[in-house]
């Protein structure tokens, strides 16, 4: 399962499924995390949730500086937002929502808990881009996409664009 994985794109139903709590860190999970890392860096992206590669495990990875030497992949298993405050609007895009970005309103600061691939507790107080990234990836684990945070009209226009692209591919 290591190496590049296929990133599922909207409207794939796996993106709407809620990921299941991880009970044990085993070799399969470590292989999944390794493959997710390779896939995210190659994409390139700054975050990836397991749903995006078709696995319904509550795992997310991120690296806010993926193009800088000394990459530092961070992993959170069973992430949970335990505190949130403030508001920030940021232009978001997604590896699973192709050819689209939009301004999304999120919490400016969040506290996220979970554990890492070594089963050590993770407790992050994040703000700005890290807060946005964590909320975006945790949304994925809950079956939500950033386009769920935009207006109904903008979402409808995007859906129409994707349906048109899919019809062209199938012709």
Per-residue pLDDT reduced to its tens digit, 13-67:
999 999 999 999 999 999 999 999 999 999 999 999 999 999 999 999 999 987 7
Residue 40's domain comprises 13-170
Q: What does the pLDDT read at residue 169?
A: 87
Q: What positions carry a catalytic annotation?
A: 137
CA separation, residue 158 to residues 8, 29, 91, 152 (Å): 17, 34, 16, 10
Chain CA centroid to CA 93, Å = 10
pLDDT at 1 over 90: no
Rounded CA separation 130/108 (Å): 9
Q: For residue 159, tell me if it sits in a domain.
A: yes
Q: For residue 60, tell me if it sits in a domain.
A: yes
pLDDT at 171 over 90: no
Q: Which residues, at least 6 apart from 54, have a Cβ–Cβ distance to it below 8 Å?
A: 5, 6, 8, 14
Share of the chain above pLDDT 90, in %: 90
Q: For residue 8, tell me if it sits in a domain.
A: no
Q: For residue 3, tell me if it sits in a domain.
A: no
**What's 83's domain CATH number?**
3.90.45.10
pTM given for the model: 0.94
Task: Tell me the pLDDT of the chain averaged across its residues.
Answer: 95
Share of the chain above pLDDT 70, in %: 98
Q: For residue 6, tell me if it sits in a domain.
A: no
Q: For residue 129, tell me if it sits in a domain.
A: yes
Q: For residue 41, tell me if it sits in a domain.
A: yes
> Count of domains in the chain?
1
Assess contact for 45 and 13: CB atoms under 8 A. Answer: no
- Beta-bridged to residue 137, according to DSSP, are none
Q: For residue 153, tell me if it sits in a domain.
A: yes
Rounded CA separation 167/171 (Å): 6
With cut-offs at 50, 70 and 90, classify the pLDDT of residue 2. low
């Amino acid at each position: 399962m290591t190496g590049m994985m296929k990133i599922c794109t909207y409207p794939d139903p796996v993106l709407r499924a809620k990921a299941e709590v991880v009970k044990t860190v085993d070799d399969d999970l470590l292989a999944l995390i390794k493959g997710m890392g390779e896939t995210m860096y190659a994409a390139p992206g700054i975050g990836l949730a397991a749903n995006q590669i078709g696995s319904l495990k509550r795992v997310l990875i991120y690296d806010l500086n993926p193009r800088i030497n000394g990459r530092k992949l961070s992993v959170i298993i069973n992430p949970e937002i335990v505190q949130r405050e403030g508001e920030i609007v940021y232009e978001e895009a997604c590896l699973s929502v192709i050819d689209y970005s939009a301004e999304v309103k999120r919490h400016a600061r969040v506290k996220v808990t979970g554990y890492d691939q070594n089963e050590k507790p993770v407790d992050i107080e994040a703000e700005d881009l890290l807060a946005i990234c964590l909320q975006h990836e945790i949304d994925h684990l809950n079956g939500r996409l950033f386009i769920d945070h935009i207006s109904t009209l903008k979402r409808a226009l995007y859906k129409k664009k994707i349906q048109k692209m899919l019809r062209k591919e199938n012709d």
